[in-house]
Structure 1
Amino acid sequence: MRNWDALDERGACAADRDCEDAARVCHLLDIPFRHVTFVKEYWHDVFTDFLNEYEKGRTPNPDILCNKHVKFKAFFRYAVEHLGADAMATGHYARTSLEDEEVFEQKHVPRREGLFRDRFEVRNAVKLLQGADAAKDQTFFLSQVSQEALRRTIFPLGGLTKGFVKKIAAENGLGHVLQRKESMGICFIGKRHLESFLLQYLQPRPGNFVSIEDHKVLGTHQGCFLFTLGQGAKIGGLRDPWYVVDKDLSRGDVFVAPGPDHPALYRDLLRTGRVHWIAEEPPAQLVHDKMMECHVRWRHQMALAPCVLTLNQDGSVWVTAVKPMKSLATGQFAVFYKGDECLGSGKIMRLGPSAYTLQLGKSLSAATREAGQGPKSHRPPTDPAN
């Protein structure tokens, strides 16, 4: 797939090298190689959202949206409808509840228009399961994939470890791909600096770095959208590291705290947008009890955190963590798990107050009652979600 138009970019595009490597592998295996372009779909469904989210002060995850809208939608339909494929195979380290044989036994069912008619088609839901290699599991990036695509997809690497896959490649004459570094990060940014890249598309909105502790202005920046919560803030003239803990888009203030483990970095509550549930819409236990225990992660490969979900009428959920969670940011996806099963995900839309803010609020209330003083200027916003 070619999803990003690099004609206007400087330097060589890694996608060209990817294409050459894929063609060479196909030649060695004596299978046909096809090249399909989804630049238009990627721009409208992924990159536009990427820019809009940053402009709103959020931190998007375009890799999850790329799988949802491009690889498991546009490409999937191309493979099934134009190439006549029985199934799609990808190199993700993930598994499903279907055996490969079951995938190929399925007959193609034409897509029906209209939600009401779709309800008459009853099928056993396909579950998305974590890969055998826990260090490489990629279900996080597949948490928005549809049932339609998932039931016609196989993951040949799901039961293998990365090391064993490399061994297979080396034994079959595919050593040229083993020399390459793993692809990490956002594909259309590549090795470029994120801040410089964003400023090519978004107008600078200068503001101040403000200390969360004494509310002093420590420096200036080019825009709140350039920073995500938990990120280190490089402030000129300061030797010790400071970290972003909050943002006020209306004022342009980025609130920072000293040290990587400051209590202002930790929160135990968040609210998502409408959750995409993979197998059950939503899980029966959550519907029945309005609450459900499970695990959550909002970054790939981070340790799963135990939490409790509370279902809202609009399909969103409140997520209450058993222990405070570090560096949460709106715009990221909260991905939910029960055992090996990836249940689905929802975009983080609101954050609860940090432990530091709660402590500060109590202290300010007490001080205000005693001294009758109002709050100082440069306060962080009361609703950090904006």
Structure 2
Amino acid sequence: MFKKIALGISGGVDSAVAALLLKTKGYDVEGVFMKNWDIADETGKCTADEDFKDASDLCERLNIKLHRVNFVKQYWNEVFCDLIKEYEHGYTPNPDVLCNRRIKFNHFSKFAFEELEADAIATGHYAKTSFGNFLENYNANQAVRLLRPKDLRKDQTFFLCQVRQEPLRRTMFPLGDLRKSEVKRIAAENHLERYSQKPESMGICFIGSRNFQHFIGEYIESKPGKFIDIDSGKVVGTHDGLHQWTVGQRTRLQGVPDAYFVARKNVDENIIYVALGTTHPALFSDLLRVSKPHWIHSRPEELERAEILRCDFKFQHTEGLVPCRICEITDENLCVHLDQAQRALTPGQYAVFYRNDECLGSGKILNPGATNFSLHYMRNSESSEASNDLEASR
């Protein structure tokens, strides 16, 4: 049923081994190299050109036809412009999640199915689906589920949390049952070790090694404001714009002996409230409001019955899962209560939900609930008022 496969090839070891595995299984494989960004870094070098050369060498070695497609315009309009707007409004977006939803599992999949007439697409992501790594369990009458891979340390389902059903149903993840160490071993055994020796891409792809504040300053005008100590209410420094800072980040204010961390932003007044110490209670909360979610397989039955959904939560790729309870509120937004308070729940990031090995879906964090600091303040205020009332009654 699935014979012709369009594989996204980046020039790295993961897509190289994915290509090898597909060829070994006898599929008719065609590679697709996506160019999503065309501005050189501070050294004047565009890494996409080097990556394309590596992808070309791989395809020549494996006898795979390679297509180079330009999605720069689509990336700019559908990912980067959205990212800039989010930063301007005080949010901290996740471009990798948007890129997967809007570029790789949208424009790439459409190119593969419509232009190349491929039967399925494949990527080097560490992920699995209920249809199998090579779609061996494909069922035209069922929806597909997104599952965590064997190598949980490399699990990339977090970045696939907004992918739609249609492209996911026809996606192969050849590395789903392999650990990274096994991928590198397979590469070495098949004379592809040069790909495993390339440094892995880290952080936001289009920023590269550049300083983030300098980079974002090229696209958003500075808007000076104040850093205010959340405990004392005193001004402790100035900033050049909310877009340059994210919740939980260390500020490194000059002339201040202790470390301040961003606790929250006031967009209307252009104020950043900072807290002393990385474990300050103003940085922790166990409650958050999430935008209307994207459920990958289907809306959970508990929410269909207007019940509480119990599952697991994470909002950072590298963090572990935290048990939570979810209920729907106004406009299908979600109220999420975590079993354990988390540090720096960041508006604009994605709240991603899991149950066992399945990634259920995600929604954008709109705002965290009351922090531990706020709750402590309110309890102390109530206690103080009660004491004053008692004294007054004597």
Q: TM bucket by the smaller chain?
A: 0.7 to 0.9
Give, in whole Å, the separation in 2 of the partners of 1:326 and 1:235. 21
Give secondary structure in 1 for the equivalent of 2:303: helix
Give secondary structure in 2 for the equivalent of 1:197: helix
| 1:208-223 to 2 correspondences below 5 Å | 208-223=226-241
User: Greater CA deviation, 354-363 or 326-335?
Assistant: 354-363
Match of 1:343 among 357, 360, 385: 360
Give, in whole Å, the separation in 2 of the partners of 1:261 and 1:8. 35
Give, in whole Å, the separation in 2 of the partners of 1:370 and 1:220. 39
Give secondary structure in 2 for the equivalent of 1:268: strand
Residue 290 (structure 2) pairs with residue 257 (structure 1): no
Give, in whole Å, the separation in 1 of the partners of 2:146 and 2:247. 30
Residue 182 (structure 2) pairs with residue 164 (structure 1): yes
| 1:358-369 to 2 correspondences below 5 Å | 358-364=375-381
Match of 2:303 among 269, 272, 286: 286
Residue 328 (structure 2) pairs with residue 311 (structure 1): yes
Contact map agreement 2:284 2:342 (CA 8 A) in 1: yes
Give, in whole Å, the separation in 2 of the partners of 1:331 and 1:232. 19
Residue 150 (structure 2) pairs with residue 132 (structure 1): yes
Give, in whole Å, the separation in 1 of the partners of 2:156 and 2:246. 23
Q: Cα RMSD between the aligned structures?
A: 2.0
Residue 189 of structure 1 and its aligned partner are, at CA, apart by: 0.7
Partner of 2:70: 37
Identity percentage of aligned residues: 45
Residue 147 of structure 1 and its aligned partner are, at CA, apart by: 0.5
Contact map agreement 2:127 2:147 (CA 8 A) in 1: yes
Partner of 2:21: none
Give secondary structure in 1 for the equivalent of 2:52: helix
Partner of 2:373: 356
Contact map agreement 1:309 1:320 (CA 8 A) in 2: yes
Match of 2:313 among 266, 274, 296: 296
Give secondary structure in 2 for the equivalent of 1:131: coil
Cα–Cα, structure 1 residues 313 and 262, in superposed 2: closer, same or farther, change >3 Å? closer
Q: Which amino acid aligns with 1:32?
A: K
Give, in whole Å, the separation in 2 of the partners of 1:273 and 1:30. 46
Consecutive unaligned residues in structure 2, runs of 5 or more: 1-33, 390-394
Contact map agreement 2:42 2:210 (CA 8 A) in 1: no
Give, in whole Å, the separation in 1 of the partners of 2:294 and 2:353. 10
| 1:78-117 to 2 correspondences below 5 Å | 78-100=111-133, 102=135
Give, in whole Å, the separation in 2 of the partners of 1:106 and 1:19. 35
Q: Which amino acid aligns with 2:262?
A: V
Partner of 2:5: none
Give, in whole Å, the separation in 1 of the partners of 2:181 and 2:133. 22
Give, in whole Å, the separation in 2 of the partners of 1:322 and 1:21. 46
Give, in whole Å, the separation in 2 of the partners of 1:99 and 1:252. 49
Give secondary structure in 2 for the equivalent of 1:35: strand
Partner of 2:290: 272
Give, in whole Å, the separation in 2 of the partners of 1:345 and 1:45. 19
Q: Deviations over 1:81-135 (max 9, x none)?
A: 000111111000000000356469778xxxxxxxxxxxxxxx3110000010010
Partner of 2:80: 47
Partner of 1:18: 51
Give secondary structure in 2 for the equivalent of 1:233: coil
Contact map agreement 1:87 1:103 (CA 8 A) in 2: no
Cα–Cα, structure 1 residues 103 and 52, in superposed 2: closer, same or farther, change >3 Å? farther
Number of equivalences? 356
Partner of 1:70: 103
Match of 2:199 among 175, 181, 190: 181
Contact map agreement 2:131 2:138 (CA 8 A) in 1: no
User: Normalised by the size of structure 2, how large is the TM-score?
Assistant: 0.86
Partner of 1:114: none
Partner of 2:346: 329
Give, in whole Å, the separation in 1 of the partners of 2:213 and 2:273. 18
Partner of 2:3: none
Give, in whole Å, the separation in 2 of the partners of 1:237 and 1:369. 40
Contact map agreement 2:128 2:147 (CA 8 A) in 1: yes
| 1:214-233 to 2 correspondences below 5 Å | 214-233=232-251
Cα–Cα, structure 1 residues 87 and 166, in superposed 2: closer, same or farther, change >3 Å? same
Contact map agreement 1:307 1:322 (CA 8 A) in 2: yes
Contact map agreement 2:230 2:275 (CA 8 A) in 1: yes
Residue 286 of structure 1 and its aligned partner are, at CA, apart by: 2.1
Give secondary structure in 2 for the equivalent of 1:51: helix
Q: Deviations over 1:180-221 (max 9, x none)?
A: 111011111111111111110111111111111111111111
Q: Which amino acid aligns with 1:273?
A: S
Partner of 2:90: 57
Contact map agreement 1:137 1:301 (CA 8 A) in 2: no
Give, in whole Å, the separation in 1 of the partners of 2:136 and 2:107. 20
Contact map agreement 1:87 1:104 (CA 8 A) in 2: no
Contact map agreement 2:133 2:175 (CA 8 A) in 1: no
Contact map agreement 1:103 1:152 (CA 8 A) in 2: no
